[in-house]
Amino acid sequence: MNYQETLEYLFSQLPMFHRIGPAAYKANLDNTLALSQHLGKPETKFRSIHIAGTNGKGSVANMLASVLQQQGYKTGLATSPHLKDFRERIRINGQMIPKREVAAFVSQHRHFFEKLNPSFFEITIALTFDYFARQQVDIAVIETGLGGRLDSTNIVSPEICIITNIGLDHMNLLGDTLPKIAAEKAGIIKEGVPVVIGKFQPEIHHVFEEVAAGKNAPLLLAKDYFEPALAEIKEYLGQPLQQISFQSPSGERKTFATDLMGSYQEENLAAVLTTVALLNRQDNISVSDNALREGLCRVQQNTGFKGRWFQIGKRPRIIVDTGHNMDGLQLVIKQLSKLNFEKLHIVLGMVDDKDISGVLSLFPQTAKYYFCKPNVPRGLDVQKLAAKARELGLHGEPYPSVKMALQAAKGRAAARDLIFVGGSTFVVAEVV
């Protein structure tokens, strides 16, 4: 198979959660372990950092990968979903896996796959680990796909585990309360391996404490080491940077800058800084202050990260963000409220397994809406979205596609207006 045929095989023949939803979710690690055995346990051949959480995983993963790459380590980065190109999921030092590697892997092992009947994500992770092992990466930053305990990535033995935060998402699979979801995410905690908690949530922190104690795993709360104190946007060499000050328990204040925008990055950056401090206490990986600071300022350049509070236009300013659940969108709406503009235009689409009313209730009634359906089977019907929005006082028109909705918004927006595009990763994918 050539690369295009390989993609068609992966996308059409294998159950893919991000397209069809829960039917693609495998509630055990049987296939993952069988694939690992077949490939010679590639996940044991490189060091790793493993990241779970409801929101912030991508930002934390890309920041850490950028910093480690800046230090000179050959750094693997595994994230999901992709925006434009499947190969975004698998990178080494910011470079996507070559097309020939994807095609060769699937061709070589296709007969085994067809006996096993794995999911899209199970094969993707098998490819990821095999590629990182064969390329002899020094360390890989691995983001979970969904949950933690039963996620296909959860066969690594990491140097450090990170749990960013817990919110109500994928409740039909992970549980219908925060403690139940926290217990699934805590499933990545390994015997004796330090775990960094990015956000202190008093109602669920006991879950992490209990699991960590049972695994003899040191538990570190990021805010105990780096408490965000002040954030502001600066420009350096023509590039916007978010400058965030942190206060240590001793009262010492340190300031770091990153090219990732959004006030929610304060929490993510605290988790990264705590993780780097932990790495520097270990024998095999260390990061200098210079590499840390340079890597944080060059995340997008080093890793190719896009989609989180990402600007794609000026006059009118156009911001896209992949936030798609209640917690993520609350932070996005809060960030929107801090900006200066004359009128707000929102291009909005969703997938059909979200809390539609809950999500829509977060959005401002004063904005002009351009409703659309992302081009995936899970996409929420645009007429249904527009009708539900009207019930909640959000007014606008439905459009046949994301691009047509954005085009309409551009046609109506004045130079000093703001256009926001979001509601789903798949909406953003169609415009970046």
- CATH label of the domain that carries residue 207: 3.40.1190.10
Residues 70 and 219 in one domain: yes
Mean model confidence pLDDT for the chain: 93
- Structural domain count of the chain: 2
Angstrom CA distances, 232 to 136, 244, 264, 320, stand at: 39, 7, 12, 20
Angle at 224 between CA 142 and CA 139, to 5 degrees: 20
Integer angstrom CA distances of residue 353 from 3, 20, 111, 255, 324: 31, 10, 34, 40, 11
Q: For residue range 205-228, list pLDDT tens digits in order.
A: 999 999 999 999 999 999 999 998
Residues 19 and 155 in one domain: yes
Domain shared by 399 and 264, yes or no: no
Using one digit for the tens of pLDDT, what is the confidence trace for 13-48? Answer: 776 655 556 666 667 899 999 999 999 999 999 999
User: Pairing mode, if any, of strands 368-371 and 395-398?
Assistant: parallel
- In this structure, are 176 and 214 located in the same domain? yes
- Domain limit, last residue, from 279, 303, 327: 303
Q: How confident is the model at residue 201 (pLDDT cuts 50, 70, 90)?
A: very high
Same domain, 236 and 321: no
Distance CA 331, CA 343 (A): 20
Whether residue 314 sits in one domain with residue 270: no
Residues 188 and 270 in one domain: yes
- pLDDT, residue 174, reads 83
Q: Which of 276, 303, 330 is the last residue of a domain?
A: 303
Report the percentage of the chain scoring pLDDT > 90: 79
- Has residue 413 got a pLDDT over 60? yes
Domain span including residue 353: 310-429
Whether residue 392 is found in the same domain as residue 275: no
| Residue 257 · residue 297 · CB < 8 Å | yes
Same domain as 274, residue 154:
yes
Comparing 40 with 337, which gets the higher pLDDT? 40
Predicted structure pTM score: 0.92
Q: Are residues 388 and 412 in the same domain?
A: yes
Last residue of a domain, one of 260, 284, 303: 303
Residues 282 and 174 both lie in one domain: yes
Q: Tell me, what's the pLDDT at 24?
A: 60
Residues forming beta bridges with residue 231, ordered by sequence position: 244
**CATH number, domain containing residue 324:** 3.90.190.20
The answer on 369 and 295 residing in a single domain is no
**Confidence tier at 237 by pLDDT (50, 70, 90):** low
Number of Cβ within 10 Å of residue 229's Cβ equals 13
Q: Which two tokens stand for residue 76?
A: 């693997």
Q: Tens digits of per-residue pLDDT, 133-164?
A: 999 999 999 999 988 999 999 999 999 999 99
